[in-house]
């Protein structure tokens, strides 16, 4: 199994996703600040993986604190957490991972500081195993939607690399393949950061699952020819009404899928649902450097000085979703009601 992130001898080790597929190199983070930097620079990316990295970062941050009292310890930890929380804005998992760790610290305030640090380490490690089993459950539910012989379109990378392992959208793909179904994947390249071309094809190839790469602007062509049976993507944040923030271009894929009568599924853990936001307009969208648009790997592809927009995500209105695949089962419209009950039975 691909180990996206793990804890080895006091360091948090992650696959450097900026270097894939050319080389599989690892980056070791020894401090919470290094983890924050790894998230910011996309060494690790994908909503659930960001949440896991954040929790592990908080554990490293806690380890570094020299404090005589819980109050001093927690004040310093909170400052570190606040800085870590600024690394990327859109995926809810960053705040989710940090808040879960802060809660563990608060619940164990009476422990000696050394034991509190061990508790935080245990919590971060349990988030890794939980994430993998959540993805496997999601995969089991999701694969029931995949018929033998299906061609599945996906956008960006919502695979093992975007999680602690197995993946969300690609978890559905893996579970279908494991169930003996003959499936094929079409991967949108996902301009401009190329998560589809670089990461999705890499990890599916590693697993021997048939995959073909297309550019983002080709998916309508294949849908129109009825060569795609279903679309499965991940999510960075889901509002209470079912609006979904995911990688830029997802909205375009969803609209095309509806127009062509193709089911469009979002696979995401319940923790991705941000019930505090009534709709997707309230989701903060990361604006990334315009160099990602005007250059290709450092080589200019637009005239010098040309300005560019580079929103990293878009919001797909809930009306385009056939269902949301979660570890708790398949959630169908009306999302307002059904997401609410799923979230409430999860807490
Ligand atoms: O900018 P990225 O690569 O972090 O964006 C990732 C995505 O948009 C994924 O589709 C999403 O996080 C779901 S990953 C299981």
Judge if the beta carbon of residue 158 lies within 6 A of ligand 1.
Answer: yes
Our answer on whether the CB atom of 162 is closer than 6 Å to any ligand 1 atom is: yes
Which residue, 235, 195, 230, is CA-closest to 213?
A: 195
Residue 347 pLDDT: 59
Q: What is the Cα gyration radius of the chain?
A: 20
Q: Is 46 in the pocket of ligand 1 (CB under 6 A)?
A: yes
Task: Please list the residues that pair with 28 across neighbouring strands.
Answer: 13
pLDDT by residue (tens digit) across 298-320?
999 999 999 999 999 999 999 99
Report the nearest-CA residue for atom 2 of ligand 1.
46
Question: What pLDDT sits at residue 178?
Answer: 98
> Tell me: the pLDDT tens digits for 49-84?
999 999 999 999 999 999 999 999 999 999 999 999
* Cα(111)–Cα(135) distance, integer angstroms: 33
Per-residue pLDDT averaged across 213-232, rounded? 98
| Nearest protein Cα to ligand 1, atom 6 | 46
Q: How far is the CA of 47 from the centre of ligand 1 (A)?
A: 5
Burial 261-299 (b: 16+ CB within 10 A, else e): ebebbbbbbbbbbbeebeebeebebeebeeeebbeeeee
Q: What is the per-residue burial (b if ≥16 Cβ within 10 Å, else e) of 314-330?
A: bbbbbebbbbbbbbbeb
How far, in Å, from the CA of 246 to the mean position of ligand 1?
6
Closest of 194, 193, 155, 215 to residue 291, by C-alpha: 193
Question: Ligand 1: does its nearest atom lie under 6 Å from the Cβ of 156?
Answer: yes
Query: Average per-residue pLDDT in the chain?
Result: 97
For the cut 90, the answer to whether the pLDDT of residue 2 exceeds it is no
Q: Is the pLDDT of residue 187 over 70?
A: yes
* Ligand 1 geometric centre to CA of 165 (Å): 14
- How far away, in angstroms, is 114 Cα from ligand 1 center? 35
Residues noted as catalytic: 236
What is the three-class DSSP state of 311?
strand
Question: Which pLDDT score is estimated for 1?
Answer: 80
Which residues 6+ apart lie within 8 Å of 339 measured at CB?
238, 240, 241, 242, 273, 275, 324, 331
Burial class (CB in 10 A: 0-12, 13-18, 19+), 44: buried
Structure tokens at 194: 């190329």
Asked whether 163 lines ligand 1 (CB < 6 A), one says: yes
Across 85-91, average pLDDT: 96
Is pLDDT above 70 for 256? yes
CA contacts within 13 A on the Cβ side of 84: 35
168 lines ligand 1 (CB under 6 A): yes
Q: At what angle do helices 93-107 and 47-63 cross, to 10 degrees?
A: 40
Torsion of CA 202, 46, 189, 316, to 10 degrees: 150
Distance (Å, rounded) from C-alpha 153 to C-alpha 190? 12
275-297 pLDDT, tens digit each? 999 999 999 999 999 999 999 98
Query: pLDDT band at 345, cuts 50/70/90?
Result: confident
Q: Beta 244-247 vs 313-316: how paired, if at all?
A: antiparallel
The answer to whether the beta carbons of residues 213 and 196 sit under 8 Å apart is yes
At 136-181, the pLDDT tens digits run: 999 999 999 999 999 999 999 999 999 999 999 999 999 999 999 9
Q: Hey, which bits of 169-305 come out as E strands?
A: 184-188, 211-214, 230-233, 237-239, 244-247, 264-267, 273-274, 295-296, 299-300
- Report CA(224)–ligand 1 centroid distance (Å): 26
């Amino acid at each position: 199994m691909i180990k996206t992130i793990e804890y080895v001898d006091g360091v948090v080790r992650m696959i450097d996703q900026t270097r894939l597929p050319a080389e599989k190199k690892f980056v070791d983070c020894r401090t919470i600040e290094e983890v924050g930097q790894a998230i910011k620079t996309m060494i690790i990316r994908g909503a659930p993986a960001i949440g896991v990295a954040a929790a592990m970062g908080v554990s490293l941050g806690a380890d570094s604190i020299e404090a005589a009292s819980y109050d001093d310890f927690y004040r310093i930890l909170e400052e570190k957490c606040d800085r870590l929380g600024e690394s990327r804005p859109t995926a809810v998992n960053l705040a989710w991972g940090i808040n879960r760790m802060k809660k563990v610290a608060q619940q164990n305030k009476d422990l000696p500081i050394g034991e509190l640090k061990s508790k935080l380490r245990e919590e971060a490690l349990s988030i890794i195993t939980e994430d993998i089993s959540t993805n496997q459950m999601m995969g089991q539910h999701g694969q029931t939607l995949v018929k033998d012989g299906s061609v599945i379109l996906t956008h960006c990378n919502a695979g093992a690399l975007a999680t602690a392992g197995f993946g969300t959208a690609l978890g559905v793909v893996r579970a279908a393949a494991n169930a003996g179904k003959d499936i094929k994947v079409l991967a949108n390249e996902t301009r401009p950061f190329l998560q589809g071309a670089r990461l999705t094809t890499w990890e599916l190839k590693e697993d021997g699952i048939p995959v073909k790469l297309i550019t983002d602007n080709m998916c309508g062509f294949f849908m129109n020819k009825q060569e795609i049976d279903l679309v499965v993507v991940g999510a960075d944040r889901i509002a209470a009404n079912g609006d979904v923030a995911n990688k830029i271009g997802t909205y375009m894929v969803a609209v095309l899928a509806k127009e062509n009568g193709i089911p469009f599924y979002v696979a995401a853990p319940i923790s991705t649902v941000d019930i505090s936001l009534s709709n997707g307009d309230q989701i903060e969208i990361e604006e990334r450097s315009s160099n990602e648009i005007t250059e290709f790997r450092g080589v200019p592809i637009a005239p010098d000085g040309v300005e560019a927009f580079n929103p990293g995500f878009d919001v797909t209105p809930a009306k385009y979703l056939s269902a949301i695949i979660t570890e708790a089962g398949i959630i169908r419209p009306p999302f307002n009601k059904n997401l609410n009950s799923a979230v409430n039975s999860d807490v």
